Amino acid sequence: MKAHYKKFAVMACTLLMLGFGLLYSTHKTLNVSAAATGGITGTIKLDGTPPHQKPIDMSKEPNCAKAHASSPVTTETVIVGPSGGLKWVVVYISEGLDAATASQVPPVKPTWDQKGCQYIPHVMALDVNQHFQVSNSDPHSHNIHPLPKPNGANHEWNRSQPPGTPPFDQVWAGEEIAIPVKCNIHPWMHGYMAVVKGPTAVTDENGSYTINVPPGNYTVTAWQETYGAQSQKVTVAAGKPATADFTYKAK
Amino acid sequence: MRVFKSIYGCAGVLSVVLAAGVTASAQDATEVGPKPPLAVKPMESRIGNVTGHAADGKSNYRRYCAGCHGDYGDANGENAVWLDPKPRDFTIATFKCRSTLTGTLPTDEDLFNTVGRGITNSNMPIWNALSPQQRADLVAYIKIFSPRWEKEKAGEKIKIPAEPPVTMESISHGKALFTKLECWKCHGPHGEGDGPSAATLTDSKDQPIRPYNFAAGKGDSRFKCGDTNQDLYKIFMTGLDGTPMPSFADVIQPNDAWDLVHFLRTLQVSRHSKENEVLSAAHGVIPPYVDKNPPPAAAPADNKPPGGAN
């Protein structure tokens, strides 16, 4: 009898401790499973009705109003694809990267284009010190005005780019998720540049992404401009890639 | 007995865990009481052969500057709520009047000149009643508010070639640039600050901001960052960081920039200038600019200001 009570007490104690452990833990462990190929893949979904995206009146810039006459452009704060996938979500590894993978800068130079008075892409993920180019495909001027947080490694700049001028090269010196970019001439133009160390991805219209990482234990973080960040832990084994899906609740 | 022992043991471990949690949250608690004074870092400024020291600028800063810019340089002085535009926030180290590229720190001389010149169309007075040494000390003092001054040097200065003579050809080319570069989108076709994008402009702190009205002001039409042709050249080439005014440094050739300066001066209609003399000699008519080396591609359509510049 006595021994039985003791077992019960130890179990109750362990359960209590576990409860506290969970309370103190900051990461949610969700839906992690192994997939067939790739490092980490996943789908990001929105649960609920997305907020209404307002149509943009571009009549002040006739070129752009004309370009979008058949399908008017809306705001892009929450974009949900036909399958319920959330587009423009930045996914990156916030913990667990080895130094070599973290310091590797991709050799590709992505383009931040201004076309039809919109930023193409609306959200761009970059590595620290990764070169990117800013181009203007419109027949009129834009000013590119990124606004990083003050006193960080990145600084605000503001450059004019008239039509026909060649693309220019830029880099960001430090991690920042994410730097808002605006055009003062066309106040409806908004975009984000997410600067992270190591591999990163932005979800497509199906809410899907793939990040290539070596085997290891990682914390994957997703960031969406309206709903913010979410994290989960994931284990990538050799030849056994992982899945990390996220769900945001519509507000 | 044994059962009780193990329960006590469990409670003991739990209380340690709880205590650790409580201690952690106690350390997170916000500090109360008056904000401690800011430590003066040994910052310096160098303007010609004058060296300014932050420690020497402190009393004058508190006496003359803190009322608007705040004791902590955060633009929260007691007068700040009444001011439009708002005072400069030194904690973010972003400055309008620079001779350096966009996104970089200004030179000490840039800041020194701003203090001595004041900022027109704002509440920033001219502080030339203070001696050059006192102004240099103030420049050093405002560097204590942002860590950027400890990590970075002033940016690369833009190059300004010697000013060519004012001619009608130069003015006419400047007018073509004003149209092509779409200065009128904000500043208006006649430089009156009433372009199609003027109403929606905000600065980097989301405060509404007006584009400069070249036509306003009698005789003396100063700009925020000076009143000479060189100052005007610098304004659009460096851009005014923290405002919607972008840098044109890589899109205008240095000599073309002087042509734009000459045209902009004609928008200051009531100001006596060499540019306005040339213009009135031509009965106020700027002939259309004829490009001697036209680019191969056709000019884009729908790119003309309503009514045309000037």
Give the DSSP letter string of A111-134: EEEEETTEEESSEEEEETT--EEE
| Total domains present in chain B | 2
**A115/B contact by beta carbon, under 8 A:** no
Residue B240 lies in a domain: yes
Phi/psi of residue B298, nearest 5 degrees: -70, 150
Residues B272 and B175 reside in one and the same domain: yes
Of B185, B186, B247, the CB nearest to A158: B247
B289 within some domain:
no
Report CB contact under 8 Å: A162, B181. yes
B295 lies in a domain? no
d(CA A196, CA A115): 25
Please tell me the distance from the alpha carbon of residue B185 to that of residue B271, in angstroms, as a whole number: 23
Query: Does B93 contact A150 at a Cβ distance shorter than 8 Å?
Result: yes
Query: What are the pLDDT tens digits along chain B (310 aa)?
Result: 455 555 555 555 555 544 544 444 545 567 788 787 788 889 999 999 999 999 999 999 999 999 999 999 999 999 999 998 899 999 999 999 999 999 999 999 999 999 999 998 889 999 999 999 999 999 999 999 999 999 999 999 999 999 999 999 999 999 999 999 999 999 999 999 999 999 999 999 999 999 999 998 776 678 999 999 999 999 999 999 999 999 999 999 998 999 999 999 999 998 899 999 999 999 999 999 988 776 665 545 455 555 544 4
- Chain A CB contacts of B181 under 8 Å are 141, 160, 162
Distance to chain A for B280, nearest Cα, Å: 31
B270 and B241 in a common domain = yes
Does residue B206 sit in the same domain as residue B139?
no
- Given B91, B182, B200, which is nearest A140 (Cβ)? B182
Taking alpha carbons only, the member of B150, B149, B142, B134 closest to residue B75 is: B142
Same domain, B53 and B129: yes
pTM of the model: 0.81
- Domain match, B174 and B276 both: yes
Q: Provide the 8-state DSSP code for A43.
A: E
Tell me how far apart the alpha carbons of residues A191 and A200 are, in angstroms, rounded to a whole number. 17
- The domains located in chain A, with CATH, are 1-104+199-251 (2.60.40.1120), 107-197 (2.60.40.420)
Residues B104 and B173 in one domain: no
Q: What is the ipTM of this complex?
A: 0.81
Q: Residue A19 carries which DSSP code?
A: H
Chain A positions touching B298 (Cβ under 8 A) are none
CATH code, domain with B83: 1.10.760.10
The residue range of the domain holding B240 is: 168-281
Q: Are residues B110 and B195 in the same domain?
A: no
**Amino acid of residue B307:** G
The parts of chain A modelled with pLDDT lower than 70 are 1-38
